[in-house]
Amino acid sequence: MSEITLPNCLSIETINKISTQRNEPSWLTEKRIQALEIFDPLPLPESKYTKIKGFNPEILNPHVSGNPNKVLFDINKLDIFIVQANLSTKYHISPKYADKVIVLPLSDALRRYEELIREKIFTKFKYDRNKFSALHLALLNAGVFIYIPDNVELDRPIYIVNEVQAENAGIFSHNLILVGRNSHATIVEENHCCLGNEYAVVTNISEIFGGEGSNVNFIHINNLASGIYNYVERIFVPEKDAKINFIGNWLGGKLTISRHEAFLEKPGAELRDVQITFGNDNQHFDLTSHTQHISPYTKSDVVMRGVLKDKARAVFYGLVDIEKDAHDSDSFLSEHAMLLNPGARANAIPSLQIKNANVRAGHGATVGQIDEEQIFYLVSRGLTESEARKTIVEGFLLPAFDEIRIDFVRERIQEMIHQKWNT
């Protein structure tokens, strides 16, 4: 396992500076210090398939500002958005929605809604999991608070746009999303970058709570630049008869380590977790989806699909735990990877732990090269070999694309994949 010396930016002075600049309550500063104290002995999130090289936390700058008016995204057409350019923010809610949703930088929200945030934040997040999770809390310097009251149905998506604009930036962003009873919302989060292959580190932690009977759609696009290390955790907590539908697109970054964790603690809670990966060059994606069925009549469907070319690597860990009291639960786990050339590699590792016989649970996993017979058939029908390969890949990913109901978001993702195909 790789060794890391305590980075220069990890100090009481750094924490006090961040806390003072953000005017934070003392309880959060105390949690930061706790994370600092345990950072050094914690391991990196490595495994048999993932080794972390070139990660240099000692040179990170956790104080870097940016320009939210110059992000690589046209925000003017959006009704509800928040932009984070490095640590600088800009946000807007159209008057039509002003009484239906609260969208604020987390630092601002802590001053206005401290008790509500303190009740929910970090309740499921384990900052002592590894070095990245401790680093995230110790240097937390960005993030978004979204609150949707009961019985609200938003007909426009909430957009979170995160852009890295500086080399050696350390962006540690924490989102807290609270959706009220019987409310419906769609949230689109896009992480991208104006850098080339310059080094930076980005952590994204999101805690998403869906109230009873709510419906939350969350679409994520990761299009970070080729020098960025990205550590992600998403925590899903749907209440009774609530549904969380997540669609993630992993396209960018040098190294991406992501962990999704769902707690289905109330009857009728549902999760659908769909993740799409397209890797090229030397990209590495280490993706985990862990669903815990704790109550009866809960449901989950996890789909992980990856396409790898060049020397890219993907590892899919699917974990489903059905506890002894979770009778009549329904779960399916699917992991599939397509390799476009011999240098690409993928590992699909599904796991089911079932402690109640009165459930439905299954899984499927495949890893294989692109089918040469399909290529031959399409070429014989007039396509070039490149066109044939593209057609097969698009068909492989189509079931996941069909989940994206916002046309311009789906088209944007397809355009990004086409760009990666041609590099």
The pLDDT of residue 19 is: 94
Comparison of pLDDT for 348 and 412, the residue scoring more = 348
Which has the closest alpha carbon to 187: 67, 103, 90?
103
Residue 231, domain member (yes or no): yes
Residues 140-191 have pLDDT tens digits of 999 999 999 999 999 999 999 999 999 999 999 999 999 999 999 999 999 9
What's the residue count for the chain? 423
Quote the pLDDT of residue 344: 96
- Domain annotation covers residue 41: yes
Tokens of 412: 């944007």
Residue 79 pLDDT level (bands cut at 50, 70, 90): very high
What band does 5 get if pLDDT is binned at 50, 70 and 90? Answer: very low
The pLDDT value recorded for residue 416 is 81
| Residue 360 forms part of a structural domain | no
Asked whether the beta carbons of 339 and 345 are under 8 A apart, the reply is yes
User: Given this model, what pLDDT does residue 215 score?
Assistant: 98
In the sheet with 184-193, reading across from the earlier edge strand, the strands are 88-93, 80-85, 158-164, 184-193, 215-223, 243-250, 270-279, 299-308, 330-339, 360-369
Q: Residue 10 — very low, low, confident or very high, per pLDDT cuts 50/70/90?
A: confident
Q: Please check whether residue 53 lies inside any domain of the structure.
A: yes
Q: Is residue 383 part of a domain?
A: no
Instruction: Read off the pLDDT of residues 257-268 as tens digits, 9 standing for 90 and up.
Output: 999 999 999 999
Asked if the structure places residue 148 within a domain, the reply is yes
Assigned domain for 291 exists: no
Based on its alpha-carbon atoms, the radius of gyration of the chain, rounded to whole angstroms, reads 21
**What are 295-338's pLDDT values in tens digits?**
999 999 999 999 999 999 999 999 999 999 999 999 999 999 99
Coil/strand/helix, residue 314: strand
pLDDT at 196: 86
> CB of 223 within 8 A of CB of 416?
yes
Query: DSSP for 341-403?
Result: STT-EEEEEEEEEE--SSSEEEEEEEEEE--HHHHHHHHHTT--HHHHHHHHHHHHHHHHHTT
In the structure encoding, which two tokens stand for residue 279, read together?
A: 């890797």
Beta strands 88-93 and 80-85 are antiparallel
Q: How many CB atoms lie within 10 A of CB 409?
A: 19
Question: How many C-beta atoms surround the C-beta of residue 349 within 10 A?
Answer: 15
Q: Cα(117)–Cα(183) distance, rounded to whole angstroms?
A: 19
Residue 385: band (very low, low, confident or very high) from pLDDT cuts 50, 70, 90:
confident
What pLDDT band is residue 8 in, cutting at 50, 70 and 90? low
pTM for this predicted structure:
0.94
As a whole number of angstroms, the distance between CA 274 and CA 304 comes to 6
Amino acid identity, residue 265? E
Rounded Cα–Cα distance for residues 205 and 208 (Å)? 10
**32 in any annotated domain:** yes
Parent domain of 78: 12-264
Task: Please state, in angstroms and rounded to a whole number, the distance separating the CA atoms of residues 336 and 404.
Answer: 19
Phi, psi of 326 (to 5 degrees): -95, 55
Angle at 38 between CA 37 and CA 44, to 5 degrees: 140
Mean predicted lDDT score pLDDT of the chain: 93
Burial class (CB in 10 A: 0-12, 13-18, 19+), 70: exposed
- Domain tally for the chain? 1
Roughly how many angstroms between the first and final C-alpha of the chain, as a whole number?
A: 33
**How far apart are alpha carbons 270 and 236 in whole angstroms?**
10
Determine the pLDDT at residue 423: 62
